[in-house]
Chain A
Amino acid sequence: MSDTILEVRNLKKYFDTPKGLLHAVDGMNFVIEKGKTLGIVGESGCGKSTTGRVILRLLDATDGEILFEGKNIREFSKEQMIRLREDMQIIFQDPFASLNPRMTASEIIGEPLIIHNKVKSKQELSERVAELMALVGLSPRLVNTYPHELDGGRRQRIGIARALALNPKFIICDEPVSALDVSIQAQILNLMQDLQEQLGLTYIFITHDLSVVKHFSDEIAVMYLGQLIEKAPAKELFKNPSHPYTKALLSAIPSIHLDHKMEREALKGEITSPVNPAPGCRFAPRCQYAVAECTAREIDLKEINEGHFVACAMVEKG
């Protein structure tokens, strides 16, 4: 297990709301190996973005351990965290909102270098910025442009260059292509893939788009209301989805193949509230296979195939 870069143990993040405790992330466990991509999928409100932010300590976890290269970063001091930020970065969803409109492309990309004292002179700064811009495919003539002058794809390239400025080992990509048109989306996905190969990056790829996540990830974790309900190698998950929610989710993707008419797993109603959730399986109220046992106890992940984990009482029984 020496090549593990990140391990998350029993990670929890609760928010205090007037209505009660909102269980945004509730007992997540997973491991990512160096150079791999873990896709986290789920629908709005399932806690996937919160998971990403808690791992980076942009939000403080309520409970659990976050082991980055073997060290529990929840115990890190502020100074240690600042040093750690060089290794862990994030790319945000919205290339419109995540870039400061008053800064030029080169200022945005160069800012982390200045904050972390990585450059000694203006000369060195502009060289490094030029290098980063070339790396993400931005033309040198764009150095002095402001974000509003650029289209979504180029803005997202700036966001990626900024994330790469400090030579991180690990990047959380929170819906990096969701705001982009398909033709541009493919350009950015290819760029991120190339960068991973060139720089040996490890990604957590958070998205609601299942076809993108299958294309991009080595392993996929499916979340439902703050919990991990299924985790498997990408191909295995699509070939052999085992949790009723995963099945419903996969069967709801509109296929571009005309003869693949959607044969849908019936899914009753809508997502229930994450505030003070009932014990047991969170999906049970919408599950057509639910039995009394599902809500009687907490259901843990069980390995059903090599590397394929499912949290479902029915699957446990076989």
Chain B
Amino acid sequence: MTEQMNTQDLLSIEDLSIVYEVDGETTYAVNNLNISLKRGETLGLIGETGAGKTTTALGIMGLVPNPPGRIVNGKVIFDGEDLLQLPKEKMRSVRGNRISMIFQDPMTSLNPVMTVGEQIAEVIQIHEGVSKQSSFQKAKEMLEMVGIPAARSGDYPHQFSGGMKQRVVIAISLACNPDLLIADEPTTALDVTIQAQVLDLMKDLKTRYNTAMLLITHDLGVVAQVCDKVAIMYAGEVVESGDIRDVYENTKHPYTKGLFGSIPDLDLTVGRLKPIKGMMPDPTDPPSGCKFHPRCPDATAMCSLSEPEPVLTESGHTARCFMLQAMAEPLAAQKPLTELNRVQG
């Protein structure tokens, strides 16, 4: 489906696979991942601990630690160029400049012995080759833009609260006016009222500068408030993806359904939550077939034997599940199913 759209996509990740190899054991962190993002769009990447969200982000940024990490397959096409083929020097000029990243923990992503003004100015000096003075001027403007008085540019990180630190991190990431912003759990460490302020700020800046954003989170609510598109990850794979409204309102994949069943809905009163049984598979020893089948309430014999391919749902998003495949391509998929049943019976 991406063939024709590739020309317009700002970011297109194709069949990306990343592994970590430790003591002869291979951890399959990201498996054949495909996602794409246009200019100005926001994609929410949702998943639980260990789903491979952060590794995907590091893969895009060329920051997967090697060793133990290794990109074994795939392309990361950004504005027509495969980032994985870029020489280190060139990648360094992309990172922080055209693609920048906001990390989860604002407390540890700032340098404690530099003033916030210096930290913002540093990025501008490195990438835009401007004088020290004008970089500091720009740093002050950036601070004002994220709602911090310019007069505080001489303060150190410890003099700011958590929410303000995250604003400083946002100011740094936007200092060079990037085309793509990767935000890895940007509000997870913050209180809800501060989270709301930071999300508002990010939404506002994104529309003002037409920045594309990849928002990594485990919070379905945050994605609903901020994103245009969504991709749900499970065990290193995207299991369901597409337009946010379509995925949220016509949820197809049993894992996505399970996620929605696990969170208490503020507008409804339910007696009991419907959790997903079991837990995340061991990434060094992923289950055969569909990675979700051991936890899936609808799993059939087929699910443990082969891996489902992404299928286009009738409402227009993609999901990886044999149940859908059976409906979409009745002949191809149902035949083996009935054969299997016969063997089992």
B223 → chain A, closest Cβ, in Å? 8
Q: How far is the CA of A214 from the CA of B221 in the complex (A)?
A: 16
Question: Which one of B162, B221, B275 contacts A255 once the chains associate, using CB atoms below 8 Å?
Answer: B221
- A183–B193 touching, CB < 8 Å: no
B324 → chain A, closest Cβ, in Å? 21
User: Given A183-B262, A185-B262, A215-B270, A253–B275 Cβ distance below 8 Å?
Assistant: no
Binary flags per residue of B185-228, CB closer than 8 Å to A gives 1, else 0: 00000011111110110000000000000000011111011000
- A254–B222 touching, CB < 8 Å: yes
Question: Which one of B161, B163, B264, B270 contacts A212 once the chains associate, using CB atoms below 8 Å?
Answer: B264
**CB-defined contacts of A270 to chain B, threshold 8 Å:** 161, 163-164, 194
Q: How far is the CA of A151 from the CA of B199 in the complex (A)?
A: 31
Question: Which one of B161, B224, B264 contacts A257 once the chains associate, using CB atoms below 8 Å?
Answer: B224
Q: Does B248 contact A (CB under 8 A)?
A: yes
Q: Does B342 contact A (CB under 8 A)?
A: no
Q: Does A235 contact B (CB under 8 A)?
A: yes
**CB-defined contacts of B200 to chain A, threshold 8 Å:** 264
Binary flags per residue of A30-63, CB closer than 8 Å to B gives 1, else 0: 0000000000000110000000000000000000
User: Given A210-B192, A256-B248, A215–B199 Cβ distance below 8 Å?
Assistant: no
B219 → chain A, closest Cβ, in Å? 7
- B269–A235 touching, CB < 8 Å: yes
The interface size bin for chain A is 35 or more
Number of interface residues of B (CB under 8 A): 46
Question: Which one of A181, A262, A267 contacts B48 once the chains associate, using CB atoms below 8 Å?
Answer: A181
Binary flags per residue of B306-328, CB closer than 8 Å to A gives 1, else 0: 00000000000000000000000
Please provide the chain B residues from 160 to 189 with a CB less than 8 Å away from any CB of chain A in the complex: 161-164
B191 → chain A, closest Cβ, in Å? 4
- B193–A186 touching, CB < 8 Å: no
Question: Which one of B48, B164, B219, B262 contacts A254 once the chains associate, using CB atoms below 8 Å?
Answer: B219
- B266–A253 touching, CB < 8 Å: yes
Question: Which one of B219, B266, B272, B273 contacts A210 once the chains associate, using CB atoms below 8 Å?
Answer: B266
Binary flags per residue of A111-153, CB closer than 8 Å to B gives 1, else 0: 0000000000000000000000000000000000000000101
Q: How far is the CA of A188 from the CA of B208 in the complex (A)?
A: 42
Q: Does A190 contact B (CB under 8 A)?
A: yes
- B275–A190 touching, CB < 8 Å: yes
Q: Does A248 contact B (CB under 8 A)?
A: yes
A243 → chain B, closest Cβ, in Å? 13
Q: Does B299 contact A (CB under 8 A)?
A: no
**CB-defined contacts of B158 to chain A, threshold 8 Å:** none
Q: Does B25 contact A (CB under 8 A)?
A: no
- B249–A43 touching, CB < 8 Å: no
Provide 20 A-B residue pairs closer than 8 Å at the C-beta atoms, listed in order of the A residue: A181-B49, A182-B263, A183-B259, A183-B275, A186-B262, A186-B263, A186-B276, A187-B277, A238-B266, A252-B193, A253-B192, A255-B266, A256-B220, A256-B265, A257-B224, A262-B225, A267-B193, A267-B196, A270-B164, A270-B194
List A residues at the B interface (Cβ < 8 Å).
43-44, 151, 153, 181-187, 189-190, 193, 208, 210-212, 214-216, 235, 238, 248-249, 251-258, 260-262, 264, 267, 270
| Ranked 4 nearest A-B pairs via Cβ | A254-B221, A215-B264, A186-B275, A186-B262
